[in-house]
Structure 1
């Protein structure tokens, strides 16, 4: 079959054809990536609505088998986002006004087991006295601070992305009443 005078490239594509094809495929891949990023990105801090943790605390304290700690109030702009209770454990998750997370855990296990469960990868970083109580301090991945205290078979662990000063102020706000 003779070639036409237009220079058909059926067997050997011209460089321009190859570049156009690569550009079209690149745009399709970029569009799929952007769609997936939008569809599958999960920003927990923005998707979980604030909760009234005081109601959970009010219901949990009478049935708790240990003195349940909770902040007497949260500073302006802070929001409680998660609260879970069972007779052996208590969790309260809070976001500060600057977007840092503070997680309070009280659980009836040893301090070592609580650290293994809630502060994996952390390393000892000394001690701190907060409101007359001694806490073990640990530094964790991504600049996290973990404060741990065990008493009467219950371990209290505070795990946070906030500064030590903010964490200690939060710990000072905790009360059993």
Structure 2
């Protein structure tokens, strides 16, 4: 018997073999975890905006607009009416591609609404015809585009982030 402690023989082939086993175990774990993972549902909930719109119509001193139907794949995510001297109506939506679209109405001026919901330095573009009415367009460098209609003392603004003008015009045409 030898007095020295036992030692295993180290070799390059043994090290490569151990690395291969380790990589196979890691890949197996990743695949197992991927197959058994449950992605959490979207934290953004869909709301029924019809009740909020009806309440706003009863309370507001302006004609509250909301769509009868939403475009295919769109969903409402927020709806609120804020009463008072500066009453306002808001409807927030997500498109089928997950892009934000907002409908804002109040007695604020067009300039104030654009500054608040688009950008203080928004650029006015060419008007867009929606059901025979000319809506002004405003955009910013961040990808926001808004269609704005000032009627009497009420300003209606439809704003989208990286949403095509045609989609915003289609949504604006659904407002009643």
Q: TM-score, normalised by structure 1?
A: 0.70
Deviation at 1:83, TM superposition (A): 0.9
Deviation at 1:73, TM superposition (A): 1.0
Over the aligned positions, Cα root-mean-square deviation in angstroms equals: 1.2
Residue of structure 1 in register with 2:112 after alignment:
113
Matches within 5 A, 1:2-151: 46-87=42-83, 88-120=87-119, 121-151=121-151
The question of whether the paired residues in 1 share the 8 Å contact of 2:118 and 2:139 is answered with no
Deviation at 1:80, TM superposition (A): 0.4
Distance in 2 between the 1:108 and 1:92 partners? 16
Structure 1 stretches of at least 4 aligned residues deviating more than 6 Å after TM superposition: none
The question of whether the paired residues in 1 share the 8 Å contact of 2:118 and 2:145 is answered with no
Distance in 2 between the 1:143 and 1:75 partners? 21
Deviation at 1:148, TM superposition (A): 1.0
Deviation at 1:132, TM superposition (A): 0.9
Secondary structure, counterpart of 1:55 in structure 2: helix
Residue of structure 1 in register with 2:164 after alignment:
163
CA offsets per residue over residues 60-98 of structure 1, 9 Å max, x none?
211111000001111332110011102310000000111
The question of whether the paired residues in 1 share the 8 Å contact of 2:103 and 2:158 is answered with yes
Where is the helix percentage greater, Structure 1 or Structure 2?
1
Distance in 2 between the 1:141 and 1:105 partners? 21
Based on CA coordinates, which of the two structures has the bigger radius of gyration? 2
Residue of structure 1 in register with 2:15 after alignment:
none
CA offsets per residue over residues 88-114 of structure 1, 9 Å max, x none?
100000001111111000011111111
Deviation at 1:142, TM superposition (A): 2.7
Deviation at 1:49, TM superposition (A): 0.7
Deviation at 1:141, TM superposition (A): 2.9
Q: TM-score, normalised by structure 2?
A: 0.70
Residue of structure 1 in register with 2:30 after alignment:
none
The question of whether the paired residues in 1 share the 8 Å contact of 2:103 and 2:157 is answered with yes
Residue of structure 2 in register with 1:13 after alignment:
none
Deviation at 1:163, TM superposition (A): 0.3
The question of whether the paired residues in 1 share the 8 Å contact of 2:89 and 2:105 is answered with yes
Deviates more, 1:144-153 or 1:165-174: 144-153
Deviation at 1:125, TM superposition (A): 1.1
Residue of structure 2 in register with 1:14 after alignment:
none
